[in-house]
């Protein structure tokens, strides 16, 4: 019997990293900046809620690139919703 063992390689994109969050509700755009200083912009249907949440946390959040999820801890206290937000790449 021939078996192939797959080595698991940790996907660094699955890690949650600290980011700075800014949102422009009028444009439905959320901007996140990582510790490397690079800014990335994303589309979000709930940009207004992200803006309120980011204001509450003074712009602090966590980002998981693999799942395109933004976590703003404590957001539910100010938005009445959830603390996780799905962000989509901006159309080219």
Burial class (CB in 10 A: 0-12, 13-18, 19+), 14: exposed
pLDDT digits (tens, 9 = 90+) for 21-65: 999 999 999 999 999 999 999 999 999 999 999 999 999 999 999
Burial class (CB in 10 A: 0-12, 13-18, 19+), 31: middle
Name the residue with tokens 């937000």. Answer: 85
Cα–Cα distance for residue pair 35/62, rounded to 1 Å? 11
The reported pTM is 0.81
Q: Where are the domains of the chain?
A: 12-89
């Amino acid at each position: 019997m021939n078996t192939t063992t797959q080595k698991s390689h940790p996907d660094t994109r699955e890690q949650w990293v600290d980011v700075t969050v800014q949102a422009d509700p009028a444009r439905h755009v959320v901007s996140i900046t990582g510790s490397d200083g690079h800014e990335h912009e994303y589309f979000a249907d709930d940009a207004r809620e992200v803006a309120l949440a980011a204001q509450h946390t003074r712009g602090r959040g966590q980002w998981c690139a693999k799942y395109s999820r933004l976590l703003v801890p404590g957001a539910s206290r100010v938005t009445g919703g959830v603390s996780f937000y799905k962000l989509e790449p901006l159309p080219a």
